[in-house]
Amino acid sequence: GAVVSQHPSRVICKSGTSVKIECRSLDFQATTMFWYRQFPKQSLMLMATSNEGSKATYEQGVEKDKFLINHASLTLSTLTVTSAHPEDSSFYICSAREGAPEAFFGQGTRLTVV
Amino acid sequence: LAKTTQPISMDSYEGQEVNITCSHNNIATNDYITWYQQFPSQGPRFIIQGYKTKVTNEVASLFIPADRKSSTLSLPRVSLSDTAVYYCLVGEDNYGQNFVFGPGTRLSVLP
């Protein structure tokens, strides 16, 4: 299947700082990318959907000014957690699709805010 | 979006066939049914997808009855490494599809 690379896999940051997570589709052009967060023992929660070249669509309850999403090219989307706080600590996962019904997922990023 | 319902957890033993059923009573005409597998601290992995009847690949089979209001993921002869959470998603084949995950089924394979 198609490969989606997410970086970094693990990051620790201080409270109040910003963290950027990258999501790349390595062998296909991702017209749509999704960002999720997942707390322990829980399912994935969709945060936002982004289409290349347009603004992301955020799910209800997700602060767009706190979770900045940029989908500037067909192979790269970034999620920036601004002014991170300990409650933002979570597992963040991106996925991408080219147009086929299935989406392919990155390996996830474990964010810990101390 | 069609809501899905799955058992929260299942136990099985190595070598057995495991069937996980997903209910999606309000599935729409254009909706596909997709199953993903997730191991701890990893992103979900695509297993199989179907629209109707039966689909089979090298790892699983997907059975979809004529009314498409449910689907069954069948894992033949499971091993310990199949212990994971399995998610059933239902949605359209278009660019606007949001992949919304339900709670999934936590499968534990015992020796």
Please list the pLDDT of chain B residue by residue as tens digits (111 residues).
568 999 999 999 999 999 999 999 988 888 889 999 999 999 999 999 999 999 999 999 999 999 999 999 999 999 999 999 999 998 875 444 567 788 899 999 999
Q: In the predicted model, what is the mean pLDDT of chain A?
A: 92
Which residues are bridge partners to A4 per DSSP? A25
Residue A87 C-alpha, separation from nearest chain B C-alpha, in angstroms: 18
Q: Which chain B residues are Cβ-neighbours of A31 within 8 angstroms?
A: 95
Q: Which of B104, B111, B108 shows the shortest CA–CA distance to B38?
A: B104
User: If you ran DSSP here, which 8-state letter would residue A111 be given?
Assistant: E
Which residues are bridge partners to A60 per DSSP? none
What is the CB-side half-sphere exposure of residue A25 using CA atoms within 13 A? Answer: 25
Q: Does B41 touch chain A (CB under 8 A)?
A: yes
Q: Does A11 touch chain B (CB under 8 A)?
A: no
* CB distance A81 to A88 below 8 Å: yes
Q: Which chain A residues are Cβ-neighbours of B46 within 8 angstroms?
A: 1, 102-105
- Cα–Cα dist A93/A6, whole Å: 8
Which residues are bridge partners to B98 per DSSP? none
According to the model, what pLDDT value does residue B98 have? 61
* Residue A71 predicted with pLDDT over 50: yes
Q: Look at the block and give the residue holding tokens 């023992």.
A: A41
